[in-house]
Structures are given as structure tokens and as C-alpha cells.
Amino acid sequence: MRRFSHEWFFLIPITVFLGLFVFYPLTRIVFRSFTDNLTGHFTLQNYVNFFTQARYLGPLRNTLWFAGVCTLVGAVGGTFVGLLASRMSPKVRSILLSFYSLPMTLSSLVVAFAFIVLLGRSGVFNIILNRYFGLPRFDLYSWEGLIVTYSFYNIPLMTLTMASVFLNLDRSLIEAARNLGAKAWQVWIYIIIPVLAPGFVAGISIVLAGMLAAFGTALALTGMAKPLFALQIYSHASEGNYDISQASALAVVLIVVIVGSLVALNWIERQLRPGGGQ
Amino acid sequence: MRRDTVVALIQRVMLVLLILYVVIPLLVPLLFSFSTLWMDIVPKGFTVRWYQRIFARPIYYQGLITSLIVAFSAVAVDVFICVPAAYAINRLRGPVGGFVQAAFKIFPLIFPPIVIGTGFVQAFNRPPFAWSGSLMLAVFAHATLGFPFMFRNVLAAFQTIDERTLSEAAASLGANLWQRFRYILIPNVIPGILAGSLLVFAISMGEFEVTTLIAGFGWKTMPLLLYRSLIDDIRTASAISGILLTTSILAFLGMSFISGRVGGGKLRMAGARE
């Protein structure tokens, strides 16, 4: 018989923890999503509601749009700053990246407050825009406002990923390809994109998954006025609109949407590899 | 002007602008919280009145104490579960270790706070786990959100010290498992534990999404108080934000200090806080 190695013993605390606080609540969600909220009988009604009612499909459509745009802004901004960071001297770069890791530890409500002070109705930037540039005031409590606010998380997050991705891009590889007679487009298709793609896709996966489920800052800024999918779950799971079975079904849908998006991104990334996903 | 000088100047300006993009949204609320009046572009007057108000009213300073208790407890729980787990996973070669690492990386993405919160609300409202509204439930919720970050930092620390060789050397000198941990391993991975602790602490102090779903009537954390004051009392909100911001910045400085001391140590914090 093989000796029972002591490593397994060290996994007991985390196994108990995960079982109780991850596996058990998730099973409850799945189980509850198939039961009637009041009687507790088996039903598919919660899912039927999701597929037939505009108050669930509408917010899901909003969320897909919103998360897509936020991810695009984060990807463009983060790639740009990441590229700049990769060209800086190591010392300057580490200062910049230290600052860019700050937003991630911030409370979503502190960020909401910060943007109220900056861009709210009597926000500092709005006064400056209005008085010195004659521009109309920026409406923080709009979809655009939410995108600007969430970019404060997404651009730095993407920057950290892209900076290391660009640093890993080996310039001698590009030069070698050039010397062997590769054209510019060939260098891009066969060298640069395949090298950058895994990191880039990993970065936008993190941003997209976060945005699909985001609701804290939106709740603080616009309440329920901008119906996001996660806000619908929140309102069903909290006191206001208590229907935990419906909330559970929506949570299952959200997990499926997130996993689906991550799988799709992963598939695209594999297609970008030379030889296209074979 | 020579072309190099122009390029250098543009780079300098870009760098300042990039840093300001992150710093201004942090600095302006702090200025706001110390000003008597801010109706225009520049704030007027210096005051600590808004902070005094927080420490004068029980609901606010008790909120701060509650937040601190929850954050410290969540850190303790995560240390307790993640340090042994990281030790074991680092030793387990082959598919198990790789699978666990990948799973913990993807965990916060597919089980975001709204899902964890929805699960907690219904999982712990009946026997044998009738913990609804208890502070302990908030501790475990925050520990659940934080453990992937703790695990990643501690595991990275184990990976950099070549734990097997160290342990074998110590064992050959007669150190038992406890002594190896106490005198060899823990002192070597303490930077990873500290970095993970500060990260979990910062996450817990600012956590709103799950906490608002599971909050009881008996207690409120700082972010819950901030949420309420954002609507009707922007001055109190500014002081609470000031306290939370300072906590985040201190935690962040601590992490930078640790990763600087360890040298080239990159913080493992990417992975969607939201």
C-alpha cells in the first residue's frame, strides 16, 4: 500500500471551507432555481420567466452591451498604456504600474463617491468644462457616466496585463523574421499577434467577466435606473423584491453567460495561433 | 530644440498625465473631506469636522470597528486555509496541482460577488447553518471572496524558495514537520503571506456587494454606511470615503514595500476584484 502522504492532510482546511462556502451555496442556488419560491415544489417557471419576460431579457441585453463597450474601452486604453509602459525604463515603469494597481483594492462605493465629486452635477471637472470650455455638463448618471467610472478599474487592470505581455514580446524574434524576408503583415500575423494574443485574451477575459457581473458602483450612482442584469439579481435577492428562486435562476443564467463568454474568447485566441486551432 | 529633447519631453508629459489619471480620483475626494466648503473649482477652508462627526456618533465608529473586526478575521481565516493548502499544492506535482491553480485563478471570474451573495443568502438561513445576519457570516463571505488572492500570493512564495530542498535539508538535520514550518518555511514565505493578507484586508474593508445582501440588523460595515450617506449626507460620505481610501492606500503601500523588499516580486492581484 502506498504511504499516505502528509500533503493531503494539509488540504483538509481548504476542502472543508470550499465545501461549506462555495460548493454548498452553489448547490443551493441550482436547487432553488428549480423550485417555486413559496411552495417549494419543482418548477421550471423561473427559467420560463427569464426567457419570456422583458424585465429579465432587457437587462441581460443591457449588460451584454455595457460589458462589451466597457471591455473595449478597457482593452484599447490598457493596451495603449501597457505599450507605453513597456517602453519606459524599468524604474519609471514600476512607479507607473504601482499606481495602476491601486484602483483594484478600492471599494466600489469609494470610486462612486470620487466620481460624484469629480463629474457629478456640481463636480469639479464639470464646472471647469462648463466655465472655461463652454461645453455642456457631463452626465455622470448615464450609461456614458457608468462607462467612464468603470474604466477607472478596467484600464489599469488591462494595463498591468498588457505591460507584461509587451515586455515578453521578444524583439529579436521580429528582427529574425524580417531578416528571413517576412513582410510586415506576415510578421504581424505569424509573430506579433500569436505572441500577444494569449495575454491580451486573458486580460479582456478578466475585464469582461467582471463587467458582466458588476453592480456595486452602478447601484451607488444610478440606483436601479440603469437596469443591469446583476442589479436584477440583487433586487430579487435583497429585501426589496424578495424572490430568491428567481434570483437563483438569474444567477445560474449569469454563470452560464460568463462561462460562455470566456469559452468563446478562449476559442478565438486559439484560432489566432499559427495553424489556427488544430 | 533637438528631436530627442522633444521626444523626452512628450514622454515626461505622458507619464505625468497617466499617473494623474489614477491619482486625481483618489486625491480630490480626500481634499473634499477636509474642506469646509466646496462649491467651486477650488475647495475653501480646512476642517476635520466631518471626521469628528464620524467619531462622535456611535453608528459610525461602531461601523469602523465592525469593518476592522471583519477584515482581520477574514484575513485570519484565509491564512489558516491557504498557507497549508499552498504548501501542499506546491508539493503535489502533476495534474492535481495544475488543476487547482487554474481553478483558483478562474474562480473569482465565474463566481462573482453577486453569485456568492445570492448563494449565501439562502444557504445559511436554516439549520444546521442558521447564521443569517451574523457577523461571522460576513467574515466567511469576505474570506470566500479573498482566498484566491491569498492562495496565489502564498503559493508564489512557496514556489520561489524551492521548498522541497529546504525541507529536506532541515529534515536531514533532524527537524520535524512542526520545526520545519516554524523555523524554515514560515519565515521564508512570510512576505507572500503578508502581501496576501494586505490584499484580503483591503478587499474586505471595501466590500459592499455581498455584504449588503447578507447584512443583519445588528451591524453595519463602513461601505454599508457609505452607501446610505451617499444619498443624503455627502459630507459624512466624504469622511467615510477618506477613511476607506486611506486604508486602501496604506495596504497598497505595504504591498509595494514587501514586493520591493523581496525584489522583483510581482504582486499577484490581477484577477478581477469586481
pLDDT tens digits for range B87-110:
998 888 778 778 888 888 889 899
Q: Which residue of A has its CA nearest to B26?
A: A114
Q: CA angle, corner A156, sides to B21 and B12, nearest 5?
A: 50
Q: Which of A63, A22, A255, A231 lies closest to B116 in space, CA to CA? A: A22
Domain residues of chain B, as ranges? 1-47, 52-262
pTM equals: 0.91
Within 10 angstroms of residue B51's Cβ, the number of other Cβ atoms is: 18
Beta partners for residue B46, in sequence order: B35
Residue where the block lists cell 461601523: B63
Q: Do A11 and B230 touch (CB under 8 A)?
A: no
* B-chain residues near A199 (CB < 8 A): none
Domain residues of chain A, as ranges? 55-272
Q: Do A124 and B88 touch (CB under 8 A)?
A: no
Element containing residue A252 per DSSP (H, E): helix A244-272
Q: Do A105 and B87 touch (CB under 8 A)?
A: no
CA distances from B187 to A6, A16, B89, B163, B191 (A): 21, 26, 19, 12, 8
pLDDT tens digits for range B213-238:
998 788 999 999 999 998 888 889 99
* Rg of chain B in Å (alpha carbons): 22
CA distance A126 to A117: 10
pLDDT given for residue A3 in this prediction: 52
Q: Do A244 and B77 touch (CB under 8 A)?
A: no
pLDDT tens digits for range B133-188:
899 999 999 999 999 999 999 999 998 888 888 888 888 898 888 888 888 888 88
- Whether the Cβ atoms of residue B74 and residue B200 lie closer than 8 Å to each other: yes
pLDDT given for residue B192 in this prediction: 92
- Whether the Cβ atoms of residue B232 and residue B155 lie closer than 8 Å to each other: no
B245 CB-near residues (< 8 Å, 6+ apart): A106, A110, B26, B29, B30
Query: Nine-digit cell at B73?
Result: 478575521
A187 pLDDT more than 90: no
pLDDT given for residue A125 in this prediction: 87
B265 pLDDT more than 50: no
Q: Which of B115, B87, B131, B267 lies closest to B192 in space, CA to CA? A: B267
Is B241's Cβ below 8 Å from some Cβ in A? yes
CA distance B66 to B3: 58
CA distance B216 to B214: 6
Beta partners for residue B35, in sequence order: B46
- Which of A24, A32, A35, A106 to mutate to probe the B interface, most B CBs <10 Å? A106
Q: Do B241 and A207 touch (CB under 8 A)?
A: no
The complex's ipTM works out to: 0.91
Using CB atoms, which residue from B111, B227, B251 is nearest to A105? Answer: B251
* Fold of the domain built from segment(s) B52-262: MetI-like fold (1.10.3720)
Which sign, positive or negative, has the C-alpha torsion B77, B82, B87, B88?
Answer: positive
Is residue A175 very low, low, confident or very high in pLDDT (cuts 50, 70, 90)?
A: confident
- Whether the Cβ atoms of residue B77 and residue B150 lie closer than 8 Å to each other: no
Residue where the block lists cell 478581477: B272
Chain B, window 93-152: residues with a beta carbon less than 8 angstroms from a chain A beta carbon: 106-107, 109-124, 129, 140-141, 143-144, 147, 151
Is B8's Cβ below 8 Å from some Cβ in A? no
pLDDT tens digits for range A83-124:
999 888 888 898 899 889 889 889 999 999 999 999 988 888
Is B212's Cβ below 8 Å from some Cβ in A? yes
- Which of A7, A79, A107, A232 to mutate to probe the B interface, most B CBs <10 Å? A107
Is residue A275 very low, low, confident or very high in pLDDT (cuts 50, 70, 90)?
A: low
Q: Can you tell me whether residue A249 is helix, strand or coil?
A: helix
* Fold of the domain built from segment(s) A55-272: MetI-like fold (1.10.3720)
- Whether the Cβ atoms of residue A138 and residue A145 lie closer than 8 Å to each other: yes
Q: How far is A98 from chain B (nearest CA, A)?
A: 7
CA distance A232 to A56: 7
Using CB atoms, which residue from B85, B144, B223 is nearest to A22? Answer: B144
Going along chain A, which residue ranges are E strands? none
Is residue B262 very low, low, confident or very high in pLDDT (cuts 50, 70, 90)?
A: low
